[in-house]
Amino acid sequence: MSKLSKARDYVLQNKDKVNNEYRLNYHVMAEIGWINDPNGFVYYNGEYHLFYQYYPYDSAWGPMHWGHVKSKDLVKWECLPVALAPDMYYDADGCFSGSAIEKDGKLYLMYTGHTNPDVDNPENIRQIQNIAVSEDGIEFKKVKHNPVISTRDLPENALPQDFRDPKVFKRGEEYYVVIGSRHQEGDGQLLLYKSKDLLNWAYVGVLARSENNIGKMWECPDLFQMGEHDVLVISPQFLERDGDKYCNLYSSVYILGNCDFKNCKFDFNTIDEIDSGFDFYAPQTLVDNKGRRILIAWMQMWERNVPTHDKGHKWAGAMTLPRELKIFKGKLYQYPVEEMKNYRANHVSYKAVIVKGTLALEKIEGQSIELELEIDSLKANKFGLKVLKDEENQTVMYYDRQEGKFIFDRSNSGEILRGSESEDIKDVRRVKVSLLENKLKLRIFIDRISVEVFIQEGERVITSTVYPKSTAKAIEFFSDEKILIKTLNKWDIRVKEEV
């Protein structure tokens, strides 16, 4: 049996063995096993396809396969057979991250083949780029040309051990790909290649380089145009913390600037964190048939424990909500995709609610919900809400006027989550954001073990996993002085049909 057939068969035979205690309702998950980076996010033949790094046999990272789901609306996803398995000499130890593009009606996947012949000597690792093609978007065949970009195509001073995550796109009549690389001095850089047929690639140059100012190795690059801006998205490893920014071991940032393809140069003027929460990495984008630029990311973080693995639940990892991107006043804004509204149910609404101290409102509760609220802070200094609350658990978020920051605290959210962060940020994230005419607007999506908070209409976002008990459904508002909740809407999000 081939490695691909073996993986597909394993999923079919074992997917019913997972423990469902912490399973999400409206986010992408694998049926069983471990997932990380989104790959091959593409609109193809009238549907959205999303691939992802996948190890079906354990709830921990292992030799990478590509898992696969598709959707007509970015909310309701259908699990498809495993798309790629590490079964060739050039990808023997993993089909690492990559991207997808349509050409002549066929779907092309471009991915990194990872080989590690001597696990005790990382110097022998090699990473090279390969292509797999599909006529139907489900069954993929690796091309005979592989590898299409090998270590021979690297420039001088680029390490062959770190050369991964190709993001392919078309500009004019030519195809381009940006690939993450590490310079021999240890800092990250992006290499640019071009092609007319996706199979024969020519090296163009170093598009951008960290020079040790923006972290180390640059993973999962994405490059696209939005209006007058060229937008570069990267996930730099070991980006140095800057106050409240870049608090995770690995960060994800966007850079606005101008890309000169002819001279292979990216001049940038803005760099910022994409998401200010605990669990967001390796984002990738697509453009759909409506012209929307949509982003999705891995909703987890490296070097942090995952309770579903700790407890032997046989699965780990999920993706964020897909988000539409827009640029407003030189900043990247994120909005939950409009299709989420189609799955709202059991609407509960309040207007002009005064809060001083604490307040719970009837029918404002749940673990698979959307909240939309606008608060006039009046003269309050600290005000916010607690969600996923019971006698033991609570996830707290609030605005501190004195600090001018929105603060997210998961110190009592349920199962203990620990990474490598310093003590002051191990359970708390802070993001600077201003009140608008004294008001705070929030859209909050809760899905069993995830909380995504869109602040001030998408100016900032905080994404975090939490692991409360199934009883933790209450919501409580609080304030140190009187506040006015001008509007409050709550919906259940219902994707699965009720039996």
Active site residues: 37
Nearest one of 448, 453, 407, 446 to 427, comparing CA atoms: 407
Q: Distance (Å, rounded) from C-alpha 42 to C-alpha 11? A: 24
Q: Are 96 and 113 in contact (CB under 8 A)?
A: yes
Q: Distance (Å, rounded) from C-alpha 143 to C-alpha 111? A: 12
DSSP state of 498: P
Which residue is it, tokens 């022998």? 124
Q: Where are the beta strands (DSSP E) in 380-466?
A: 382-389, 394-400, 405-412, 428-432, 439-447, 450-455, 460-465
Which residues on neighbouring strands pair with residue 409, listed in sequence order?
396, 428
The token pair at 13 is: 């035979």
Which residue is it, tokens 């409506």? 290
- Beta-carbon contacts of 403 under 8 Å, excluding residues fewer than 6 positions away, are 430
The SS3 of residue 4 is helix
CB atoms under 10 Å from CB of 274, counted, come to 23
For residue 466, the one-letter residue type is V
Q: 194: buried, middle or exposed (CB in 10 Å: 19+, 13-18, 0-12)?
A: middle
Q: Are 370 and 344 in contact (CB under 8 A)?
A: yes
Nearest one of 230, 259, 84, 110 to 179, comparing CA atoms: 110
The token pair at 141 is: 């065949």
Q: Are 318 and 31 in contact (CB under 8 A)?
A: no
Q: Are 375 and 439 in contact (CB under 8 A)?
A: yes
Angle at 478 between CA 474 and CA 483, to 5 degrees: 130
- Beta-carbon contacts of 172 under 8 Å, excluding residues fewer than 6 positions away, are none
Q: Are 319 and 297 in contact (CB under 8 A)?
A: yes
Q: Are 282 and 37 in contact (CB under 8 A)?
A: yes
